[in-house]
Amino acid sequence: MGLITNFYEATAMILFGIGFVTLLLQKNLIKKIIGLNIMDSAIFLYLATTGYITGRGAPIIIDGIVYQDAYVNPLPSALVMTGIVVAVSITAFALALSLKLYEHYGTLDMDKIALMSRGGDV
Amino acid sequence: MLPITIMLFLLVMAGVIASVKANATAKMLAVGAFAVAFGLSAALLSQSANETIRLVIGAAPWNIYVLVTPLAAFMVCLFVGVSLMVVWASANLVDYDIEPARIPMYYALVCVLIASLVGVVIFGSLFNVFILMEVSSFAAAGIIVIKNRPENMRAGLKYLTLSILGSSFILMGIITLYALTGSLSVTGIHQSLSAGYAGNEVAAYNALMFITIGVALKSGLFPMHIAFPDAYSIAPSVSSALLSGLVQKAYIFFYIMVLHKAFGAEILLNDRVMTTTLQLVMILGAAAMIAGSAMALLQTDLKRMIAYSSVAQVGYFFLGVGMGTRLGLFAVVFHFLTHAVTKAMLFLVAGSVIRQTGSREIGDMAGLGTKMRVTMALFTVGALSMVGIPLLIGFNSKWFFAMGIFDSSHIWLLAVLALSSLLNGCYYLPVVVRAFFGDTGGEAVRLRSVRECAVRGLAPIVCLALLVVAFAVISGPVSYISIGIDSIW
């Protein structure tokens, strides 16, 4: 254990923190979405690191020969792939909603939008 | 294959409904789909009454793992049954809320949402559960923003962001569990945790912490509830009924499964850090019960008031889960039933009132009881059930919670329970009193044009009201839930 041997995990955690803070503290919607993406990348890094075992290959089975010990479990990689797909669709959805908000309010600042909609112009 | 069939059937029907052009056909197809799915889940309920269904598709270790405990079968039945009622009632309500061109898409989203909730409940592999949670976040945000107005976009974005944040935490927790145990199925995690728990405590604490924060974010536990009142009050009433009545429960069920199936009671209740975490959850739940009700008192908007009441009810769930006793868990699962039926009914009534009067303000409801007698009578039934009047299901829930509290070592929670019930009465009953006995005054002119809802819109709400009474007096759900609790303890 220790920071040097686990630097992938440490990096992942730091990135997660950066993304989390960006998501919560930024007022601009686009920056919020960027924060969300940084957070997702941190999780994928953590997941990919967790799933890899040094010295083992990809689980591509040729000639029907299966030595389970020679392969890494493909499940974490599959999780990362699925996670990326989910993250992309979330980004697209969130951007589409931001676009709608921008069309109506003319700003991407969440505080201004909240003020305007409280002003009763909707 | 029955559990998978229910989920796939709803997904296929979502595709069929989305491709239909005529709105009337879409509505009929949706009601039909949920009726068939309800039949299937009733079959599942009777099939799994005595045993847990385990189903492995594909060869180990790369497979899909379905684990349907009697409790999960109960949840499937609850989800599909309540959404059948809501969809039936929606036939009369959606036209008011949603533009006609979007109605088939709306029903398709509802089918996807319920299918994903069923999936969250039936899968035993945390990977599948996670994917379906994401699908449910999408579908839930979808049925909020379907009403094409800027405030819906705002509420939808807020809901989506917090929900995704919660999912990220949950994924982090799932990965930590995977790194610790090398397995993603709840039974695999449980086996490897009980075999080699000593020495791995810190990783297990991290996993528990991540999953707790994630579930709290996704289901709107008190300090993280900010997106939910907006979402429930701004979304179309039918969506509010589904979101508040069903969606949070899938996440809390997932939490219960992680606690009691993956960690297991012997680890969970004997480890000091874990019991402290559970107590923290319990205290936050108690805070939510008071704070949610207190904020509901301040609302002048009918749907917003019911939405804050939901925030308080989420507190009940976490209170029961945090007590960590069998009776506490029983109370939580019974409250799933209570809250799903009652809250769905209240939101549908609120939707009907808004549709008939065009106003959401509680102040405008004076004298409404003389015009919309049946609707307001139904509201009264729901309100009294939420307060906890005997012979209505809400009373049974509160009774079970009180039993759970007596059983635990935290008698002071009885005061919280009593105060919360009192506050429930303080905000629900004035609406009832105003509607039936309020001074109509200058409002009489405006009320003249108000009519009672059509019978076809009232019928499903009446059915829900009958369920509120029936489940309070029949013992079926009680004995079934106690079998379910035994199966996961």
Domains and CATH numbers, chain A: 7-118 (1.10.287.3510)
Q: What are the angstrom distances between the C-alpha of B93 and each of B112, B192, B232, B271, B355?
A: 20, 50, 16, 50, 7
Contact B184 A75 (CB under 8 A): yes
Helix, strand, coil % (nearest 5) of chain A? 70, 5, 25
- Long-range residue pairs from A15-20, CB within 8 A, at least 24 positions apart, any chain: A15/A39, A15/A41, A15/A42, A15/A45, A16/A42, A16/A43, A16/A46, A16/B168, A16/B172, A18/A42, A20/B165
d(CA B80, CA B114): 7
d(CA B232, CA B239): 8
Contact A105 B150 (CB under 8 A): yes
Residues on chain B touching A100 (C-beta within 8 angstroms)? 150, 153
**A:B CB pairs within 8 Å:** 77
3-state secondary structure of B116: helix
d(CA B241, CA B244): 6
| pLDDT score of A104 | 87
Identify whether B61 is preceded by a cis peptide bond (ω within 30 of 0): yes
Give the contacts of B179 (CB within 8 A, at least 6 positions apart): A50, B203
| pLDDT score of A120 | 46
Residue B153 contacts A, CB cutoff 8 Å: yes
C-alpha dihedral sign at B67, B73, B78, B80: positive
Q: In terms of CA atoms, which chain A residue is nearest residue B145?
A: A97
Residue B86's DSSP bridge partners are none
Whole-angstrom Cα Rg for chain B? 22
DSSP letter for A57, please. B
Strands (E) located in A49-95: none
Residues on chain B touching A47 (C-beta within 8 angstroms)? 171, 175
DSSP string, B9-72: HHHHHHHHHHT---HHHHHHHHHHHHHHHHHHHHHHHHHTSSS-EEEEESSTTS-EEEEE-HHH
Nearest-CB residue to B154 (from A23, A94, A101)? A101
Nearest-CB residue to A101 (from B62, B150, B175)? B150
Q: Among B132, B134, B152, B168, which would you mutate to test the A interface (most chain A Cβ atoms within 10 Å of its Cβ)?
A: B168
DSSP letter for B452, please. P
| pLDDT score of A1 | 53
- Could you read off the pLDDT of B277-319 as tens digits, one per residue? 999 999 999 999 999 999 999 988 889 999 999 999 999 999 9
d(CA A62, CA A36): 39
| 8 A C-beta contact, residue B81 and residue B223 | no
Give B189 or A56, the one with higher predicted confidence. Answer: B189
- Residue ranges per structural domain of chain B: 2-488
Is the pLDDT reported for residue A38 higher than 90?
Answer: yes
Average pLDDT value over all residues in chain B: 88
Q: Following CA atoms B220, B138, B175, A36 in sequence, which dihedral angle do they give, to the nearest 10 degrees? A: -80
Residue B178 contacts A, CB cutoff 8 Å: yes
Q: Among A9, A29, A93, which would you mutate to test the B interface (most chain B Cβ atoms within 10 Å of its Cβ)?
A: A93
Q: Which two tokens stand for residue B189?
A: 């995690």
Residues belonging to chain A: 122
C-alpha dihedral sign at B167, B74, B116, B103: negative
Residues on chain A touching B154 (C-beta within 8 angstroms)? 101, 113-114, 117
Contact A97 B160 (CB under 8 A): yes
Contact A100 B168 (CB under 8 A): no
Percent of chain A with pLDDT over 90: 22
Give the contacts of B285 (CB within 8 A, at least 6 positions apart): B221, B222, B314, B315, B316, B317, B318, B319, B320, B321, B322
Cα angle for residues A34, A38, A42 (degrees, 5° grid): 165
d(CA A119, CA A113): 10
- pLDDT band with cut points at 50, 70 and 90 for residue B16: very high
Give the contacts of A69 (CB within 8 A, at least 6 positions apart): A56
Q: In terms of CA atoms, which chain B residue is nearest residue A106?
A: B150
- Could you read off the pLDDT of B312-340 as tens digits, one per residue? 999 999 999 998 888 989 999 999 999 99
- Could you read off the pLDDT of B255-283 as tens digits, one per residue? 999 998 888 888 888 888 888 999 999 99
What is the pTM for the complete model shown? 0.92
Contact B157 A97 (CB under 8 A): yes
Residues on chain B touching A16 (C-beta within 8 angstroms)? 168, 172
Nearest-CB residue to B154 (from A82, A93, A117)? A117
| pLDDT score of B384 | 92
Nearest-CB residue to A50 (from B145, B154, B179)? B179
Q: What are the angstrom distances between the C-alpha of B412 and each of B293, B325, B398, B417?
A: 18, 16, 15, 9
| pLDDT score of A121 | 39
Residues on chain B touching A86 (C-beta within 8 angstroms)? 131, 134
Residues on chain A touching B188 (C-beta within 8 angstroms)? none
- Could you read off the pLDDT of A50-101 as tens digits, one per residue? 777 776 777 676 666 566 666 777 777 888 888 898 889 989 999 999 998 8
Give the contacts of A90 (CB within 8 A, at least 6 positions apart): A36, B134, B138, B160, B164
Q: Among A86, A89, A102, A115, which would you mutate to test the B interface (most chain B Cβ atoms within 10 Å of its Cβ)?
A: A86
| 8 A C-beta contact, residue B274 and residue B267 | yes
- Scanning B220-271, the segments in alpha helix (DSSP H) are 227-234, 237-242, 248-257, 265-268
The residue among B280, B262, B253 whose CA lies nearest residue B197 is B262
| pLDDT score of B368 | 81
Nearest-CB residue to A93 (from B150, B160, B184)? B160
Strands (E) located in chain A: none
Q: Which two tokens stand for residue B208?
A: 């528990």
Q: A57 to chain B, minimum CA–CA distance in Å?
A: 16
Q: A104 to chain B, minimum CA–CA distance in Å?
A: 7
Residues on chain A touching B127 (C-beta within 8 angstroms)? 75, 78-79, 82
Q: Which two tokens stand for residue A27?
A: 């007022």
State the average pLDDT over residues B329-353. 92
| pLDDT score of A106 | 86
Percent of chain B with pLDDT over 70: 97
